[in-house]
Structure 1
Amino acid sequence: MSSSIIEVLFGKRVGKGLEREAGVSSRYLDSGTEDAILGRSLLYKNHNDEFLRCTEFDREGNVTVVSGEFKKNELCAKHGLMPRDLRKLWVPSIIVPHILVRKNSILVNLLHIRALIKADTILLFDVYGSTDSYTQSVFMYDLEGKLRQGSKAMGGLPYEMRALEAILISVTAALEAEMKVLQELVITLLGELEEDIDRDKLRLLLIYSKKLSTFEQKAKLIRDAIEEILEADDDLADMYLTEKMLGKTRPTEEHTEIEMLLESYHKICDEIVQISSNLVSSIRNTEEIVNIILDANRNSLMLLDLKFSIGTLGIGSGTFIAGLYGMNLKNFIEDSDLAFWGVSGWAFIFSAIICVYGLHKLRRTQRLTMWGESGAKEGKRGWLSLGNKRTVSNAAAKAKLAGRYDALQKRRFGHVIERNPSSFPPLQLVPDKKK
């Protein structure tokens, strides 16, 4: 079955080359499913290895070719590119954004836009299986308008910078729109979690957290791509394609226009990253608080269970005494009129003592602090104490020590030396060792 599918897709020669040896099992899937997936992947790869679909704009902003198919080798030869350069544009699985500067062109791969910018032409590559058709349509309409406005209407920017700015505007607008949607959803959900915590809201919080983390990573990659091109002075100077076409040479350090253009959109991307980071931090804090609340509720249930266990132990202790006297043996108090009341009272008192003692121990366990069990109340040192000395800052302790100091001076010198009380040095006491 598997070999017949591959033979139908690729022919007998390819099918025989890909046929699996008999008795060899798949690592993850069964043989039929894996061969079908492999066949579709190779068929798609074989088709895309030769042709690319592009939409072309001329210097005036007019669309000259709509979704036309071009051979890759022809595109490379026409625009002076290498096959590895085109791979960064047509492979849908590449999610890392790029802004690459070549000799006579600029390659841009940002979100839903994959473009080849030249001094008088721009090619937009159609990505197979893309879900951003509406965003791409809006971008193409905006790009057409900016290219038709001309250089004077755009502040004297050349053709390639107008095209690049249109791309950056579309990318940042898409990021801002997605950020606003996620921000509204997350803030609303966090507000609801403050009022009530249930399973459905926690599940939504997990979903939004994953989406927000993915969005934050995407925004960071775009910001880093712009930052990377800003740090390369030679690439910034090479982005003046119109001057290259006219035969003009530009020094490496003169790239003010393109640098200001990229810096403005870099700040926008950085702001988006900061907002998304704040939202992620809010989600993390909410998750920690929810975990603390759930732990507190769990501890309350455990304490309630312990209280019931202590009560059961106390009642069982009284029942044990009653059981001793309930044996069918002579105990020499059968004829006593006060035996019933005495045994019942003793059993009740014994049960009460057990319950009170157990609850007292449980309460002391609840009062554990960072200074140890009842450390703050009894003056004991806990596990957070450092060293063997403790500085005494209590005014009463200082006054008592000052009185002892004056008495010592009077016995030694016959009078008390006057001094400024504020200059009395801070004293350190060594706690008494337990005997």
Structure 2
Amino acid sequence: MPTQQPITPPPQQVPPPPPLPPQQRRKGTGIRPWLVVSASGNSHLEAVGKHLIMRRTGLPARDLRILDPGLSYPSTILSRERAIVVNLEHIKAIITATEVLVLNSKDPWVVPFVRDLECRVSNLNEGLQNRSDATAEESLRFLRSRHSSQLFRRSTSESPEAEMLQSNGSGSPEDTGDMQIKGAPKALPFELRVLEVCFQSVCMSLEAETSTLEQEAYPALDELISKTSTHNLQRARHIKSRLVALFGRVQKVRDELENLLDDDVDMAEMYLTDKVFNLQVEEDMSKDIQEKDTNSFELDGESDEDSENNKSSSGRVTGFKPNVEELEMLLEAYFAQIGGTLNKLSALREYVDDTEDYINIMLDDKQNQLLQMGVLLSTATLLINASIVVVALFGMNIKISLYNSAYAQFWETALGEIGHGQPKLGTVPAELEETKQNLQNARKEGMTMSNCLSSLREELDKTKRELQKMKAKEAWK
């Protein structure tokens, strides 16, 4: 008999999953809008990533972290091989020999700086071109003299006369290598002009904040001196907190300028245009030297070595020293300006400290007055208590009419309480009436107190005995 196979239900059709929403492409990490201002004065926005900035400017990643808006870094100026990193207050920029990259260009504090920067850079082109031509001529003359000195040294290296000439420093053009190139115009290069705009913007911003704080602080402190209240103290506390924060910011900018003035190497590193230009000139001269000296294998090899050494150097010709006096004068001017702002804040800080001392003196005076009042009240209380004690002591011999009433009133009250405590005794016996009558008679006859008391004791004894007899009779019944 064939076995019946179980009938399997048809598979249910599962609906396909809904399509996933299109995912937006994630932006590259570290991409931020930078305002790029070229040396010609043109400006445009670029969304540039961190790695592209590093390749473009030759800066390491740790230097770019200083410009991160999400991190809090103090005011800093870093001079690197191909760029200058500026982090001064609201200005975060990277300066190269041909352009400047500004971060947060839409910030209301940065907009005036960008406008001034574009205006200054556009007026720089003509003067910078003249300076470059003059510097090029001097650099070519210097390199030719350097090359001729090398040829002279190699050709006469075996003669003692050459050694004497080299040791005395005469008869060889080598000593021209230690001289600075003179005759160049005084126009600042692009990077120093941008630094000047940065310093000017920062100094003006700090000066404006200082003036605003002075206009608010002095009237508030004067009002606090005239009237010490909670509201005035709160205003003074807020002003002091703002003063401390602003003082620290100004002090940091001043310290940064002072560090630059003390380090000639950092100032020389800031001449990016001269470094790039001299590197170009030296490369051109190296090519010319190689073409002219192809007949001499030894000379050709030495020129190749010189070319390689120059390429691996920092972009400066050996013996070429930029004229840092221009940058030094620029830094000294803004150092003096920021020093004046710091002096204003120091004067305001001293005024705040003097106001605090005056308020503390006033509070101490009020506290002394309260202590004096407390001493007076304590003394008055002591005198009153002493008088009360004296009155109480002498008041024991004062006659009071309240105590001169009849003695019978006390005994009536006492016996009434006793009778109330014995409800079964019935009425008061006749002996009590007799006692009362005797007391009245004794008072009328003028008996002495001792006789009265003795008679009262006897009457009380009689009364007690009668009461005991009555209790015994009732108990017997």
Bin for the TM-score computed over the shorter chain: 0.5 to 0.7
Cα distance, 1:326 vs. partner? 2.9
1:144 is paired with a residue whose SS is helix
1:50 paired residue number: 30
Matched, 1:211 2:277: no
Aligned pairs (5 A) from 1:392-403: none
Matched, 1:295 2:364: yes
Structure 2: distance between partners of 1:164 and 1:235: 14
2:66 paired residue number: 88
For the 8 Å contact 2:83–2:97, the answer to whether it is kept is yes
1:246 is paired with a residue whose SS is helix
Structure 2: distance between partners of 1:202 and 1:135: 31
Residue among 154, 171, 175 paired with 2:206: 175
2:384 paired residue number: 315
Cα distance, 1:77 vs. partner? 1.1
1:276 paired residue number: 345
1:97 paired residue number: 75
Cα distance, 1:292 vs. partner? 1.4
User: CA offsets per residue over residues 294-317 of structure 1, 9 Å max, x none?
Assistant: 111011011112112111211221
Cα distance, 1:160 vs. partner? 0.9
Letter in 1 for 2:103: F
User: Which range moves more in the overlay, 203-212 or 252-261?
Assistant: 252-261
User: Which range moves more in the overlay, 285-294 or 88-97?
Assistant: 88-97
Structure 1: distance between partners of 2:29 and 2:353: 45
Query: Aligned pair count?
Result: 280
2:42 paired residue number: 62
Structure 1: distance between partners of 2:361 and 2:42: 61
Structure 1: distance between partners of 2:28 and 2:391: 90
Cα distance, 1:252 vs. partner? 4.8
1:108 is paired with a residue whose SS is strand
Structure 2: distance between partners of 1:48 and 1:233: 39
2:119 paired residue number: 145
1:372 paired residue number: none
Residue among 108, 113, 118 paired with 2:86: 108
Matched, 1:156 2:171: no
Structure 1: distance between partners of 2:323 and 2:187: 16
1:257 paired residue number: 326
1:133 is paired with a residue whose SS is coil
2:271 paired residue number: 240
Structure 2: distance between partners of 1:294 and 1:47: 62
Structure 2: distance between partners of 1:146 and 1:116: 17
Letter in 2 for 1:260: M
Aligned pairs (5 A) from 1:183-202: 183-202=214-233
1:133 paired residue number: 107
For the 8 Å contact 1:233–1:252, the answer to whether it is kept is no
Cα distance, 1:183 vs. partner? 0.9
Structure 1: distance between partners of 2:225 and 2:357: 13
Letter in 2 for 1:78: R
2:99 paired residue number: 121
Say which structure is richer in helix.
2
2:109 is paired with a residue whose SS is helix
Structure 1: distance between partners of 2:33 and 2:65: 13
Structure 2: distance between partners of 1:206 and 1:182: 13
User: CA offsets per residue over residues 123-179 of structure 1, 9 Å max, x none?
Assistant: 00128xxxx922211111111111111156796111111111111110000000000
Letter in 2 for 1:274: N
Show structure 1 runs of 5+ residues with no match.
Answer: 1-45, 336-435
For the 8 Å contact 2:75–2:89, the answer to whether it is kept is yes
With normalisation by structure 1, the TM-score equals 0.61
Structure 1: distance between partners of 2:112 and 2:247: 24
Letter in 2 for 1:320: V
Letter in 1 for 2:48: F
Q: Which has the larger radius of gyration?
A: 2
Cα distance, 1:235 vs. partner? 1.1
Structure 2: distance between partners of 1:153 and 1:254: 17
For the 8 Å contact 2:28–2:49, the answer to whether it is kept is no
For the 8 Å contact 1:105–1:117, the answer to whether it is kept is yes
Structure 1: distance between partners of 2:126 and 2:336: 26
Cα 1:153–1:324 change in 2 (3 A) is farther
Structure 1: distance between partners of 2:107 and 2:208: 16
User: CA offsets per residue over residues 203-223 of structure 1, 9 Å max, x none?
Assistant: 110111011000000000011
User: CA offsets per residue over residues 166-205 of structure 1, 9 Å max, x none?
Assistant: 1111000000000001111111112112221111111110
Cα 1:48–1:267 change in 2 (3 A) is farther
Structure 1: distance between partners of 2:55 and 2:220: 54
For the 8 Å contact 2:104–2:110, the answer to whether it is kept is no
Structure 1: distance between partners of 2:59 and 2:238: 42
User: CA offsets per residue over residues 385-423 of structure 1, 9 Å max, x none?
Assistant: xxxxxxxxxxxxxxxxxxxxxxxxxxxxxxxxxxxxxxx
Cα distance, 1:90 vs. partner? 1.9
Cα distance, 1:50 vs. partner? 2.9
2:62 is paired with a residue whose SS is helix
Aligned pairs (5 A) from 1:344-363: none
Structure 2: distance between partners of 1:215 and 1:148: 33
Identity of aligned residues (%): 30
Cα 1:153–1:92 change in 2 (3 A) is farther
Structure 2: distance between partners of 1:47 and 1:296: 67
Letter in 2 for 1:316: N
With normalisation by structure 2, the TM-score equals 0.56
RCO (CA 8 Å, sep 6+): is it higher in 1 or 2?
2
1:326 is paired with a residue whose SS is helix
Matched, 1:220 2:251: yes
1:60 is paired with a residue whose SS is coil
Structure 1: distance between partners of 2:107 and 2:50: 23
Q: Let me know the Cα RMSD of the aligned residues.
A: 2.2
Cα distance, 1:229 vs. partner? 1.4
For the 8 Å contact 1:52–1:69, the answer to whether it is kept is yes
Cα 1:278–1:48 change in 2 (3 A) is farther
For the 8 Å contact 1:58–1:120, the answer to whether it is kept is yes
Structure 1: distance between partners of 2:111 and 2:329: 27
For the 8 Å contact 2:31–2:50, the answer to whether it is kept is yes
